[in-house]
Structure 1
Amino acid sequence: MLSSEGLLALYLCISNDKISDTMKRLTIIYWLTTVMFSLWMLGNAYAYLTSEEARRLCAHFGFPDYFRVELAVAKLIGVPVLVLPWLKGRIKEWAYAGFVITVISGFFAHLASGDSVRDSASALLALVFALISYASYHRLQVASSITKSINTGSLTTIV
């Protein structure tokens, strides 16, 4: 991994147009994957609370019925944390961690209850969306921080 000075040197070698294009691309990737993942989790939460099929599925996994409601509430709390741009830092990290644990656990719950890998694959797809959202979020944070430092002239002391 590059040091902050190395990242800065690399950043300074890139033209402003390239930086702007990269930021736009990262922003699109972030919002696309975050919104898709969030809608998926909201759909799951709604199903957990209203669907008889979700109740049967939780029983199939061997989970108590209240766990289905707990998962729904956690997802309903976590989605706004991911989507609201002014929520940053540890709370967003915890939301991502909770979703990743939930999705991975769902995949293994399917397998452990005898479902095929094909029937369990939707959990892996959700994991891919969550990981891309997470990675692009962090890349945007770094790029934004460097851009802000360059624009304010605070990087001149490092270079």
Structure 2
Amino acid sequence: MSTKKINITYWVFTGLLLAFMGPGAILDLLSTSEALAVFKHLGYPAYLSPFMGAVKLLGVIAILIPGYPRVKEWVYAGFVFDLTGAIFSGLAVGDSLLQVSPILIGYILIAGSYIYHHKRLNIRPVRLSVV
């Protein structure tokens, strides 16, 4: 796969991932009524909402900042933990599989972004030597 295709695919997955995670992060950070209703439904205290929002928003920002591959690894892991917790919490309070299934889209986006992030890291610049 060419460098251009790898970069385009990375940004498609990553853009969709950030569009998936970002709005929820902002709603949580601002402790909107919608976010607090979800936290209440899942049995979480309201004070957790701004913390989770801040952490997710920092993750979105970290993915966008060039470099820092180790930080990005932690962000991808954190996003997986967040989505896994959301699915588990939903099921634990009685939500159906159908109700939590949209979260699976997030896993696909994380996987695509993560895989192509690593493909981008493995691209070695071509060095031309003059003899």
Q: Which residue is 1:56 aligned to? A: 37
Aligned length: 128
Runs ≥4 in structure 1, deviation > 6 angstroms?
none
Aligned to 1:7: none
1:50, distance to aligned residue in structure 2 (A): 4.5
3-state SS of paired residue (1:65)? coil
CA spacing shift, 1:152–1:93, aligned 2, 3 Å: farther
Shift of 1:88: 2.3
User: Which residue of structure 2 aligns with residue 151 of structure 1?
Assistant: 127
Residue in 2 aligned with 1:77?
58
Q: Secondary structure at the match of 1:34?
A: helix
Gaps of 5+ in 1: 1-20, 154-159
TM-score normalised by the chain length of structure 1? 0.74
> How far apart, in 2, do the equivalents of 1:51 and 1:122 lie?
21
In structure 2, the residue matched to 1:31 is 11
Q: Identify the structure with the greater helix proportion.
A: 1
Letter in 2 for 1:110: G
Is the aligned partner of 1:44 residue 2:18? no
Tell me the alpha carbon deviations over residues 28-57 of structure 1, each in whole angstroms, 9 at most, x when there is no partner: 111011111112211001222243122111
Structure 2 Cα separation of the partners of residues 53 and 76 of structure 1: 17
Alignment RMSD (CA, Å): 1.6
The 5-angstrom pairing of residues 1-159 of structure 1 reads 22-48=2-28, 49-84=30-65, 86-142=66-122, 144-145=123-124, 148=125, 150-151=126-127
> How far apart are 1:22 and its partner, in Å?
2.3
Distance of 1:29 and 1:109 partners within structure 2: 32
One-letter identity of the residue aligned with 1:63 = Y
Q: Structure 2: which 5+ residue stretches go unaligned?
A: none
Answer whether contact 2:31 2:49 (CA < 8 A) is retained: no
